[in-house]
Amino acid sequence: MSKQSKVSTTTNEGTLGMYVSGFVLSIALTLAAYTLVVKRTVSVNLTIFIILTLAVIQFLVQMFFFLHLGRETKPRWKLFVLIFMITIVLIIVIGSIWIMNNLNYRMTPDQMNTYLNNQGGGF
């Protein structure tokens, strides 16, 4: 019996209640974001902020209820790798958008062609 209980705590898998609550929460968050966009009740910028927040909340909900991340025992290696991944993802995404918008802002298409021609390339 003691062996049984040890097994159920270490194979960090969820219960039916966890899966059901994760499913219901995810459906609710998806429908909320969808209605907000289709109905257009608030301004575009606010809508974007809200739907991105809802996406992040749904990410956390599924991580917790479906992938059982909160139930990991110490040392929490999975969590460490996840945080490292999120760091890399944010650097790639925000960095790319930042750099490319900056290039866009500083260069007209004409300048771009001249620059590329001077480099010996160009379109």
By the criterion CB under 8 A, which residues form the site for another protein? 3-4, 7, 10-11, 13-16, 19, 22-23, 26-27, 30, 33-34, 37-38, 44, 47-48, 51-52, 54-55, 58-59, 62-63, 66-67, 77-78, 81-82, 84-85, 88-89, 92-93, 95-97, 100
Residue nearer to another protein on the CB measure, 82 or 112: 82
> Quick check: 73 and 12 in contact, CB under 8 A?
yes
Helix (H) and strand (E) counts for the chain? Answer: 5, 0
Residue nearer to another protein on the CB measure, 62 or 112: 62
Residue nearer to another protein on the CB measure, 1 or 120: 1
Residue nearer to another protein on the CB measure, 23 or 112: 23
> Quick check: 29 and 56 in contact, CB under 8 A?
no
CB of 76 to another protein, least distance (A): 11
CB of 83 to another protein, least distance (A): 10
**Of 88, 87, 77, 33, residue with least CA distance to 57:** 33
Tokens of 97: 């958008």
> Quick check: 24 and 58 in contact, CB under 8 A?
no
User: CA–CA separation, 18 vs 21, rounded Å?
Assistant: 5
